């Protein structure tokens, strides 16, 4: 670990800039986690990650500018930009094409931007690393955006038995379920929750919980029907949903393991190896 003076001296005109792009971005833990990993590997200075707050209105112009920034190495893309990024980059990995969203972008030397999605693999790795099973599980997933889509496909890929998707816009949930069913026909899918249903894992893959005034993404009564409640929201670490679930005696998992599991994959994709 470098001392602060050496850390500052390591940032030079040759440093490759990495970013985390979101709006808001103040809650992001990614820069600290990434720069700590880079420092531990002796790569801080060759690369450095910075927060980049970009509005939805300014996002297309910002992405265009990244092509011209020769010392830009890549960026982690967070809410609300994951889905639109898939239409703005020059090339998508097979995973990103399947999901229809991007959460990591790499800039090639020729200025072309390549996008992939690692939310799903990161989430599953976080669950498995904590000792929970995905194979054979009955899962409730709340959300149908970029992160939720990636998680849905990853859960199906890793062998969940059934997947129920709930979203404030039912049509988006149905569309996502249809895509998952087409790719993984062996998974039992549903958009309806019934009073006698039981779920091994329930996941909040929406942004609800970032603000104290947010409603619970999973109703109190429905929490009772689930064994494990897992979050994708990073800050606050203990969201109102997790606090409610803990109060009901449920096992909870914060969003941090998902992000931690992704960091190595993200840095590798952006060339910081």
Give the pLDDT means over successive 10-residue stretches in the chain (273 positions): 63 95 92 94 96 97 94 95 96 95 95 96 94 96 95 97 96 96 97 93 96 95 97 94 98 94 93 90
Domains of the chain: 4-117 (3.40.50.10860), 120-257 (3.40.50.720)
SS (H, E, C) the chain: CCCHHHHHHHCCCCCEEEEEEECCCCCCCHHHHHHHHHHHCCCECCEEEEEEECCCCCHHHHHHHHHHCCCEEEEEECCCCHHHHCCCCCEECHHHHHHCCCCEEEECCCCCEEEECCHHHHHHHHHHHCCCCCCCCEEEEECCCHHHHHHHHHHHHCCCCEEEEECCCHHHHHHHHHHHHHHCCCCEEECCCCCCCCEEEEEECCCCCCCCCCCCCCCHHHHCCEEEEEECCCCCCCCHHHHHHHHCCCEEECCHHHHHHHHHHHHHHCCCC
Q: What is the pLDDT of residue 79?
A: 87
82 is catalytic: yes
pLDDT at position 2, please? 61
Q: What is the pTM of this model?
A: 0.87
From the list 5, 16, 70, 82, the catalytic residue is 82
């Amino acid at each position: 670990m470098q001392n602060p003076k050496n850390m500052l001296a390591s940032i030079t005109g040759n440093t490759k800039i990495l970013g985390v792009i979101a709006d808001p971005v103040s809650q992001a833990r990614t820069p600290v986690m990434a720069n700590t990993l880079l420092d531990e590997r002796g790569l801080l200075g060759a690369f450095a990650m910075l927060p980049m707050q970009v509005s939805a209105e300014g996002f297309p112009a910002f992405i265009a500018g990244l092509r011209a920034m020769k010392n830009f190495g890549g960026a982690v893309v967070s809410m609300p930009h994951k889905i639109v990024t898939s239409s703005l980059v020059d090339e998508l990995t097979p995973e990103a094409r399947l999901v229809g969203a991007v959460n990591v972008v790499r800039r090639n030397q020729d200025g072309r931007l390549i996008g992939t999605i690692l939310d799903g693999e990161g989430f599953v790795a976080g669950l498995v690393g904590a000792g929970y099973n995905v194979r054979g599980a009955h899962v409730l997933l709340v959300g149908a955006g970029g992160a939720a889509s990636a998680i849905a496909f990853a859960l199906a890929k890793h062998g969940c038995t059934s997947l129920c998707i709930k979203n404030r816009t039912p049509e988006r949930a149905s569309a996502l379920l249809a895509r998952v069913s087409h790719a993984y026909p062996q998974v039992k899918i549903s958009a309806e929750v019934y009073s006698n249903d039981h779920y091994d894992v329930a996941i909040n893959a929406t942004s609800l919980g970032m603000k104290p005034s947010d409603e619970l993404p999973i109703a109190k009564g429905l929490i009772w029907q689930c064994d494990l409640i897992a979050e994708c929201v990073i800050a606050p670490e203990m969201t109102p949903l997790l606090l409610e679930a803990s109060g009901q005696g449920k096992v909870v998992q914060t969003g941090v393991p998902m992000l931690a599991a992704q960091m190595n994959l993200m840095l590798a994709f952006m060339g910081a190896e």
